[in-house]
Structure 1
Amino acid sequence: MVALYDDAGEVVGSAPRSVMRARNLRHAASSIVVRDPIGRVYLHRRTTTKDVYPGLLDFAAGGVVLAGEDPGLGAVREVEEELGVTGVPLEALGVADYADEHTRYRAFRFVATWDGPIRWQPEEVSWGEWVTVEELVRRLDDDARSIVPDSVAVWAAIVRSWLADAG
């Protein structure tokens, strides 16, 4: 069961994930960017079996917030499931809203700093690598269509600020 949200960002009910997807109901999702101690970002390819944006690149792990679940705890669960990142604090970076013909949600954004091994969840991640913020911004500028649009929408300004801060 997935928590459903209204336009003001309040929980208004729940529905099975299949119903939420079929009707494109507004929900909440965690979105976690994983950085290493020198500031690189982990970029990964979604499997071709994902229900939304299959096969595209992504620089945020995450997933739907379950009914009754705290979004921060959902973020901890998702980054551990997808990338094997565990036992590190997540820095909350606020919320952003996203909507298109495939999905509508409130993104609870977090950043994790991780220096351990990445372990992909085979059902969700097919490949990945560490990229510099400069390389990620270049990809956003030159080939944004290869990256999931929701991550671009909810993270691009923050990623660009990281590049400006480094320069």
Structure 2
Amino acid sequence: MAEMIALYDAEGREIGAQDRAVVYAEGLWHASAGVLVRSRDGSRIYVHKRTDTKAVFAGMHDCLAGGVLSPGEDPAAAALRELSEELGIAPDDHPVPLVTASWDGTWQDRPMRCHLFAYEVRYDGPIHHQPEEIAAGWWWTDKQLLTHLEDPTWPFVPDTRLLIPDLLR
């Protein structure tokens, strides 16, 4: 059965819907929402390893829980949905949009062209991985994450790799 996702134009406006497989195969513009999970005191970030069965960036590390937007879906609602699905988190507060000076939220490289709506939540409660999506996860300080990001051979999701350095202290 086809899974329809929202199609976007290069400027970040929703323009329709298409099957996920077609979007990935043809490199069509779409959108995703991702959530950075920080500890309440801001000292740590939750990092996870994607399963080897993921369709895109399989087996790589990431620190955003996220996924593609469905047709007509609000990015903040998608962020909360993905946070709940992937990490079992229902935060007390709404996600706060992340803005950086050096990256505008677009990713245009194989296998996809995507607009990323990025958010942050502060959270210290339990985390429950969705086994189909997340292989493992742990908390790191900004310094620990930055040290790993400085290694170009460390397998980290490439669009998040662009976003994160601006957010680390």
TM-score greater than 0.5 by the shorter chain: yes
Unaligned runs of 5+ in 2: none
State whether structure 2 residue 26 is matched by structure 1 residue 17: no
The correspondence of residues 1-167 of structure 1 with structure 2, limited to 5 A, is: 1-39=4-42, 40-88=44-92, 89-94=94-99, 96-143=105-152, 145-159=154-168, 163=169
- Compare 42-51 and 141-150 and name the one that shifted more: 141-150
| Structure 1 unaligned blocks of 5 or more | none
Q: TM-score, normalised by structure 1?
A: 0.91
Contact 2:91/2:121 (<8 A) preserved: no
Aligned-pair distance for 1:24?
A: 1.3
Deviations 1:1-38 (A, max 9, x none): 11111111111111011111111111000011001123
Percent identity over the alignment?
Answer: 39
**Structure that is richer in helix per residue:** 1
Q: 1:108-146, CA deviations, whole angstroms, 9 ceiling, x for partnerless residues?
A: 010011111110000000101000011111111124642
Q: Which whole-Å CA distance do the structure 2 matches of 1:93 and 1:59 have between them?
A: 13
Spell out, residue by residue over 1:77-130, the C-alpha distance to the aligned partner (whole angstroms, 9 max, x if none).
001100111033211124611111112111001001111111000000010100
Alignment coverage as a number of residue pairs: 160
CA contact (8 A) 2:25 2:111 kept: no
Matches of 1:90 and 1:144, distance apart in 2: 31
CA contact (8 A) 1:144 1:152 kept: no
1:50–1:123 CA distance, 2 compared to 1 (3 A): same
Cα distance in 1 for residues equivalent to 2:111 and 2:135: 21
Letter in 2 for 1:36: S
Deviations 1:39-89 (A, max 9, x none): 200000000000011111111110001101011100000011001110332
For the residue of structure 1 that corresponds to 2:127, the secondary structure is coil
1:118 alignment partner, SS class? coil
| Separation (CA, whole Å) in 1 of partners of 2:153 and 2:127 | 24
Over 4 Å off, 4+ runs: none
Question: What secondary structure is seen at the aligned counterpart in 2 of 1:80?
Answer: helix
Taking structure 2 as the reference length, the TM-score comes to 0.90
Please report the RMSD computed on the Cα atoms of aligned residues, expressed in angstroms. 1.3
